[in-house]
Structure 1
Amino acid sequence: MRSLKDAQLGAFTFFASALPHDVCGSNGLPLTPNSIKILGRFQILKTITHPRLCQYVDISRGKHERLIVVAEHYENCLSIFQKPENAPSAEKVLQIAYEVLEGLEFMNKNGLVHRALGPNNVLMDCKGNVKLAKFGLYHMTDHGADVDFPIGYPSYLAPEVIAQGSFHPSDPSRDEAPLPSGPKSDVWSLGILLFELCAVRILNKHSFSFRLKWRCCLSSLGCMDDIVTVLAEEHGCLDTIKELPDSVLELLRKCLTFLPSKRPTPAELLQDPVFNSISCHYTPFQKPVSLFSSSLRCAHLVLPDDISDLCKDNDEDYLSERAIDEVYHLWCLAGGDLEKELTNQEIIQSKPPISTLPNFVLEDGETFGQGRDRSFLLDDTTVTLSLCQLRNRLKDVAREAYYPLLEDEQSSLPQSNSSNELSAAVTLPLIIRERDTEYQLIRIILFDRLLKAYPYKKTLVWKEARVDIPPLVRGLAWAGLLGIEGDIQAKYEGIDKDTPIPTDRQIEVDIPRCHQYDELLSSPQGHIKFRRVLKAWVVSHPDLVYWWWSCLDSLCAPFLYLNFNNEALAYACMSAFIPKYLYNFFLKDNSHVIQEYLTVFSQMIAFHDPELSNHLNEIGFIPDLYAIPWFLTMFTHVFPLHKIFHLWDTLLLGNSSFPFCIGVAILQQLRDRLLANGFNECILLFSDLPEIDIERCVRESISLFCWTPKSATYRQHAQPPKVAGDNGFAKTSTYYSSDYQDMPKTDLSREPLSLVDLKAEVSPRISAEDLIDLCELSLSGSSKRNKTGKPKIVAVDIRTAEDFNRGHISGSINIPFNTTFGPENEVVQCPAAGGLQSYRGRVIVVISHNMKSAAMFAAHLVKMSFPRVCNLDGGINKLKPTGLLTVPSPQI
């Protein structure tokens, strides 16, 4: 999206047609409101960028089907030339015609027709260049079918458009809708505009009568060879028209050709010789290269001859250099309110309900009540949104903040007056940071620069994402975190999304149930995009299955919402996300994968919260009853989108085991209620999950993850290690992104367990290399210590005293198994009596030469509510070859 520069932000409003409340669609669901249909179609307009078109920015939906559209705006328009003193020259008329045709041709290439050309919709920037406004009104309203007013101004509509008449779907007298207008209808409208410019000196006083008579004389034009002459004679400006150059007259004749079959299109007119002297001054428009493509993004950049020109500072307006959507986003954060702005300009007028009662007539013919409220009719006035409040809010932001340096250079930046406040803002809750105007400006600019340098600045993107991700750039930031690269559009287009497949029926059933509270995803365009992205995934993964209960559509929803106008990126993100977090979850027979996943999750509950684990096991409330939808959809089936965004901002930084920590954090928020209830009450509790504090959930998930040894969540059915050249996370260094599965396997690594053996153990196992790393045995033999100075880990050796003295881990304590459990494996002495109570809260690693004994000992500790209990995989035998075992010195 291009920068604001000398443009302004403008807003206009209109109403969509209301639908009856007692009518349902063929699927039995209520009809989609026309305003939501318009909102969905509008989204593609935000991607239409051209120097001759005003950039669309946003659309919001209000009460009673009201829609407010925000777009690039300029104060001057073609109407300024309708005054005699401002009459344009013939050269200026040709320039305006050429620039309008440039805009129309680009629209036609994108499947759009203006249909609303008029003097007020042909804007002029400060350099006098044309900017076409409201060019998307015809498209977003489905060619006028979703509104009660005609699209376009009757005085400028082509004869074939007027001949079709108006149409509304609810009109019983019309069986078929008129054919949509084509590009040639805009050429006629342009001809009328140019005719007015040429005859402005004469028509200025009679322009109103000209417009009134225009429709009346349409019937006589069909038999006329020269419509321009007819118009000039009709309105007394024949001499003025004859004074025009032949090139201009010929252009008018071509534009005002009565028969559409003989009228040229905008693309054909641009090649007309009449523009030979003008076209040489214009360079063809080149669409900016997108972030994920095979083309060079910097190929069009040209440095000035004098580099010092880049360093000049003429007290520039740095805000105007930012993209239009950024400025609007900041305007909203600074207190901007669209309805308030329109109300202040009396575009929106609120009335008491009693004043809007319809008419009713008594027997004597006397009428009571109000006529039709004109506020519900179209008022195409565009209100300029004032940026004064935003500029005042950002006045203390230093100019260096608009051009941040990266890497270590950033620390040497001059500080702004509000730098201390911005530094303090990092510690504030995320929801507050996302509403802080200055903070978001700094973060958006920084991410914008990092993403433009992606993938070369991938590491810095990860680093900054650990702080937070600005909502405005979340879609691209997520793509960066998922390692998306290459020409994703070509890959997406190469997938057959049209041929019917057996899964189509299930997709059609799932989509109307997926996050339909959201206006964008519930729109018909949202359903179409949902269907295409899901089908592309199904077709491109023939070895996987679209399960009816898998809610794959819920996984797609966040990516589609953030990349609504880029289906290829939504598909690419989804395709990278599923293998990392849901590897083999969608196999035809996935029972072994899910059962292993749930068993590891159950061990994580016991590891972090043994008291809760004991209670849930006692009442039989196992993860199979509530956690399958959590992990199959990575919580998208549980939380609304705004919570998923915050949750996934952190999830995407974590490895495949991070969801376990999120699940435990959710249970801990419900801990008191779970401990106080039995099985039935817990079932009811999870059938309608209470409100979850997502920020607290994220914060506690990170803490749980940091306390979890990497190998404790090992799964043999997780994604296999990535090979060199993959766009994987193993090559990215972050504080909780590396996956245990990606580490090179050694003799000290964890060995896979059968599902039966895994389920038989309450506590997780950790690898010998994890134990060595946590104890730092290979370095100094001292234990790793946390911030309080206490060891983070304690090794509990349950072998006999004799075996312990033959060799043990430095710093470990010995609690023999045979002194704790009797011959029948009954408890004869509490382990806490052996001094273990003082180690409560640390990671307790149970070491033995018999894994069954270790598992039994660990299970007993869990039963006694000892947290963070785990077993050493392979026992002491794994450590004997390392030479790290110590023997106590003989006492003299």
Structure 2
Amino acid sequence: MRPLRDAQLGAFTFFASALPHDVCGSNGLPLTPNSIKILGRFQLLKTITHPRLCQYVDITRGKHERLVVVAEHYESSLNDFQKLGATVLQIAYETLEGLEFMNKHGMVHRALNAQNVLMDGKGRVKLAKFGLYHMTDHGADVDFPIGYPSYLAPEVIAQGPAHHSDTSQGDNPLPSGPKTDVWSLGVLLFELCTVSSLTQPSRALMIDRSLTCLCFFPLGCIDDIVTVLAEEHGFTITLDSFGLPPPTPADLLADPVFEGVSCLYTLYQQPVGLFSSSLRCAHLELPEDIGQLCKDDDEDYLGERSIDEVYHLWCLAGGDLEKELTNKEIIQSKPPVCTLPKLKDVSGECHLLTESPNELSCTVNLPLIIRERDTEYQLIRIILFDRLLKAYPYKKNHVWKEARVDIPPLVRGLAWAALLGVEGDIQAKYDAIDKDTSIPTDRQIEVDIPRCHQYDELLSSPQGHRKFRRVLKAWVVSHPELVYWQGLDSLCAPFLWLNFNNEALAYACMSAFIPKYLYNFFLKDNSHVIQEYLTVFSQMIAFHDPELSNHLNEIGFIPDLYAIPWFLTMFTHVFPLHKIFHLWDTLLLGNSSFPFCIGVAILQQLRDRLLANGFNECILLFSDLPEIDIERCVRESISLFCWTPKSATYRQHAQPPKAQADRSASCFGKTATHYSSDYQDMPKTDLSREPLALRDLKAEVSPRISAEDLIDLCELSAGGQTKKSKAGKPKILAVDIRSIEDFGRGHISGSVNIPYSTAFSADGELAQCPATGTLQSFRGRVIVVIGHSMKSAFATHLVKVNYPRVATLDGGINKMKHTGLLTVPSPQI
């Protein structure tokens, strides 16, 4: 969107037609309210940007089908054109420019009058309310006519009012075409000429030229008016051009009458999009010395921000559309929204920052929901992300870095695309997909969409349903090796909501998301993929919360009964969109194992209730999932993620290694650098984890970790010595369960020897000895069990006595024999 500059934010309101409450549609569901239909169609208008059109910003839905539309607004209109030094010819040309651009997007104005042709501070035309006809389905969704009788073309008046679009009648009038706007413009120009203070010869010329625009008027309609006008001003008007076919705005722009005007204007070109085949600005750099960029304290930095950003900040600052209209005491077309509390007090430096200023460091530590409502903080974050995204993909690492802090809601769609690595000409790829030919999946998609997040006004609108169908069908058609499973619609919902006016980007994000987090989940036979995933999840529960794991296993409440919808839809089936946005802001920073941590965090929020209940009560609990604190869930998920060794979540059915794994960005700060990339992406060596049959995997309660993970976590040096952490203890404890003799022949430095044969008493408790005392002192840290082979009975015993973070070494001590890291005790003298 273009900068606010000298524009204002204006609002106008109207009511949609009410529908009967006792009537259902052909699908048996209640009829979609007309206000919802209008809201859906409106979204396209936000993408229509042209110098001659007032930019649409937002629409809100109130009580009793009331709609309030926010758009770019100017105080001056066509009635003030003489004060601004504009000429009739200029106004005609600029208005036609706007109309022609609308026609290219399949729209007509239909509501032209002097009050809807606004003029900016430079006397340039800005057409207002140009989308009213489009958003109301050519007037079918409202009870008032679109347009003003004095300016409507005769054929429009002859058609009569439109019928409501929800009826089954087929006699709706044909939509108006571009030529109806030419009539309205001709009447406007005719009026301007009759009241103009120009000299008589010039006025005669202007009238003659304006009549060119009216060349399709029936002579009988205006013959008397033209005669009276000519006699009053003492000149003759020839009507030779009358009777020609009615022209369109494009035809009139090419008319010789505008030859002297058109050369003064530069042909408008749509700005290059973020995702396209056009060359991007690789030279963009973030300034190092902020002070050099903000020397002028009087500069209107807010005016340089885009209209949608200013409106977003106004809302954060307490702006209320209906309240603004109420304060005016009447509901009028375009009351200016001038109240921008707090924004004018923001210093110029804030608009040029690359990092958050020191005085806002406290805000960063506040809960996310508060930060998202802090006007000044959001302004700074929006400016920063705007710069970084304009330099994407060259500033991809910076986007990752700032996304770890938070993502401004206003730019979330583009930020997610950057985090998912979406690049290239996505529109061309999307356009090349056949989304029209019928396929067997169509029926299931039609059934699922009306049940997917239909509490949301945007997704429940007819436009939302159409876009849903197109994006889902595009994904199915472009992935012939996969199939449509129920839940794919829920996965699509967040991307479609954030990119409602960019189906190509919604499709591209969805196509990048699924291979990373749901690789092969949508195979026709996905049972082996799902079962492996759920087994690893069970091991993660046991690893982080053995007490809860033991209880759930005892009552038979296994993940198969509740977790499949969680992971198949990445939680979009169980949480509303506003929670998914916050959850996925963090999910997209993690690798494919992060969803396991989210699942464990959800269980831990329900921990007390789960431990206190049996199987039936747990089933009922999950049939209607209680309220989950998403911010707490995210916070605890990160902690769980950082405590989980990379290889512990290894899955042989995960996405294969990429050609060049992107390990440039750590997910959650320095403490999580070790976990920033997928284990599957790491180069495979003799120390890596080996694939395991599903049957064998299910037999193990604790996860396995690789020898390379053990070496890394133990921080073993080349000489086999263990590096000490700052706290004086190694990060993990290696427990060698071999016999004393085998332990003496070579072991990992720092490990303790607890022979399995003597480790447990008859009642299953750990036998008391110095080594078990060391084990107990490490309770809560990662404990890795090492034996000759991969017998996990010792680890299973530890889990049963509620030892958390227990893992086993994949391949046992044999994996370590050729590393040179084993220690042999010195002989006693």
Contact 2:454 2:460 in 1 (8 A): yes
Deviations 1:460-515 (A, max 9, x none): 00000000000000000000000000000000000000000000000000000000
Local SS of the residue matching 1:47: coil
SS across alignment from 2:734? strand
* 1:570 pairs with 2:564: no
Q: CA RMSD in A?
A: 2.4
Give the 3-state SS of the residue equivalent to 1:281 in structure 2. coil
Task: Report how far residue 242 of structure 1 moved.
Answer: 3.6
Gaps of 5+ in 2: 199-215, 285-291, 668-672
Equivalent in the alignment of 1:383: 335
Letter paired with 1:70: V
Q: Which one-letter code corresponds to 1:888 in the other structure?
A: P
CA distance in 1, matches of 2:753, 2:809: 15
Task: State whether residues 797 and 814 of structure 1, in contact with CA within 8 Å, keep that contact through their aligned partners in structure 2.
Answer: yes
Q: Structure 1 residues 97 and 389, CA, compared in 2 at 3 Å: closer, same or farther?
A: same
SS in 2 for 1:507: helix
C-alpha deviation, 1:239, in angstroms: 3.9
Of 412, 430, 439, which residue of structure 2 is paired with 1:474? 412
- Conserved? CA contact 1:52–1:99, under 8 Å: yes
List aligned pairs for 1:793-832, cutoff 5 A: 793-820=732-759, 830-831=766-767
C-alpha displacement of 1:160: 0.9
Q: Which residue of 1 aligns with 2:250?
A: 267
The alignment status of 1:598 with 2:534, answered yes or no, reads yes
Does residue 754 of structure 1 match 2:748?
no
Q: TM-score, normalised by structure 2?
A: 0.92
- Structure 1 residue aligned with 2:613: 677
1:311, 1:709 → 2: CA distance? 47
* Other-structure match for 1:609: 545
Q: Deviations over 1:300-346 (max 9, x none)?
A: 99xxxxxxx99883711100000000000000001100000000112
Aligned residues: percent identity?
79
Which residues of 2 match residues 184-583 of structure 1 at below 5 A?
184-200=179-195, 224=219, 230-234=224-228, 236=229, 238-240=231-233, 242=235, 262-298=245-281, 313=296, 315-348=298-331, 381-392=333-344, 395=345, 397-405=346-354, 419-420=358-359, 422-547=360-485, 550-583=486-519
Aligned residues: 796
Alpha carbons of structure 1 residues 613 and 454: separation in structure 2 relative to 1, 3 Å: same
Match of 2:648 in 1: 712
Deviation for aligned residue 1:390: 4.0
- In the TM superposition, what whole-angstrom CA distance separates every residue of 1:669-693 from its partner, at most 9, and x where no partner exists? 0000000000000000000000000
Provide closer, same or farther for how the CA distance between residues 223 and 880 of structure 1 changes in structure 2, counting only shifts above 3 A: closer
Pair 1:268–1:77, CA change in 2 (3 A) = same
What CA deviation, in whole Å up to 9, does each residue of 1:555-583 have, x standing for no partner?
00000000000000000000000000000
Cα–Cα, structure 1 residues 110 and 816, in superposed 2: closer, same or farther, change >3 Å?
same
Number of the residue aligned with 1:67? 67
Superposed CA deviations along residues 524-560 of structure 1, whole A, max 9, x for unmatched, are 000000000000000000000112xx31000000000
Quote how far apart the aligned CAs of 1:848 are. 0.3
Q: 1:171 and 1:611, CA in 2 relative to 1: closer, same or farther beyond 3 A?
A: closer
Contact 1:774 1:784 in 2 (8 A): no
Q: What are the ranges of 5 or more consecutive residues in structure 1 without an aligned counterpart?
A: 204-220, 302-308, 349-378
CA, structure 1 residues 9+790, in 2 after alignment: closer, same or farther (shift >3 Å)?
Answer: same
Q: 1:661 to 1:454 in 2, by over 3 A?
A: same
State the 1:768 CA deviation: 0.2
Deviations 1:72-104 (A, max 9, x none): 0000001225xxxx4899x80000000000000
Distance 1:263 1:829, change over 3 A: closer
Q: Which whole-Å CA distance do the structure 2 matches of 1:272 and 1:299 have between them?
A: 42
Judged with a 3 Å threshold, the aligned counterparts in structure 2 of structure 1 residues 222 and 815 are, in CA distance, closer, same or farther, namely closer
CA shift at 1:296, angstroms? 2.5
* Structure 2 match to 1:48: 48
SS at match of 2:46: helix
Provide the rounded CA distance (Å) in 1 between the counterparts of 2:179 and 2:463: 27
Residue 262 of structure 1 deviates from its aligned partner by 1.1
Q: Which residue identity does 1:13 align to in structure 2?
A: T
2:120 is the counterpart of 1:125 = yes
Indicate whether 1:143 and 2:138 are aligned.
yes
Assess if the C-alpha contact under 8 Å between 1:43 and 1:564 holds in 2. Answer: yes
Aligned mate of 1:619, from 555, 561, 564 = 555
- CA positional deviation for 1:387: 3.6
**Could you say if the C-alpha distance between residues 202 and 168 of structure 1 is closer, same or farther in structure 2, counting changes exceeding 3 Å?**
farther
Give the match for residue 630 of structure 2. Answer: 694
- 2:222 and 2:713 map into 1 onto residues whose CA distance is 89
- Tell me by how many angstroms 1:168 deviates: 2.7
How far, CA to CA, are the matches of 1:72 and 1:403 in structure 2?
25
- Structure 1 counterpart of 2:205: none
Q: Would the aligned equivalents of 1:88 and 1:197 in 2 still touch at CA under 8 Å?
A: no
**In structure 1, how many angstroms separate the alpha carbons of the residues matched to 2:624 and 2:376?**
39
Aligned CA distance change for structure 1 residues 299 and 658 (closer, same or farther; 3 Å): closer
Question: Structure 1's 87 and 562: CA in aligned 2 closer, same or farther, altered over 3 A?
Answer: closer
Question: Compared with structure 1, are the counterparts of its residues 311 and 858 closer, same or farther at alpha carbon in structure 2 (3 Å cutoff)?
Answer: closer
Say whether the 8 Å CA contact 2:112–2:151 is kept in structure 1: yes
Contact 1:596 1:715 in 2 (8 A): yes
The 1:111–1:761 alpha-carbon spacing in structure 2 relative to 1, beyond 3 Å, is: same
Partner of 1:660: 596
Aligned counterparts of 2:786 and 2:30: Cα–Cα separation in 1: 63
TM-fit CA distance, 1:832 = 6.0
Q: Secondary structure at the match of 2:434?
A: coil
Cα separation, 2, equivalents of 1:821 and 1:171: 74
**Cα deviation code 1:131-163 (max 9, x no counterpart):** 000000000000000000000000000111111
The answer as to whether partners of 1:199 and 1:237 remain within 8 angstroms in 2 is no
2:401–2:665 contact (8 Å) kept in structure 1: no
CA distance, structure 1, for counterparts of residue 149 and residue 682 of structure 2? 71
Contact 2:137–2:165 (CA under 8 A) maintained in structure 1:
no
- Give 2:206's aligned residue: none
Question: What are the superposed Cα offsets for residues 350-391 of structure 1, whole Å, 9 maximum, x if unpaired?
Answer: xxxxxxxxxxxxxxxxxxxxxxxxxxxxx5x21100144243
Q: Which amino acid aligns with 1:756?
A: R
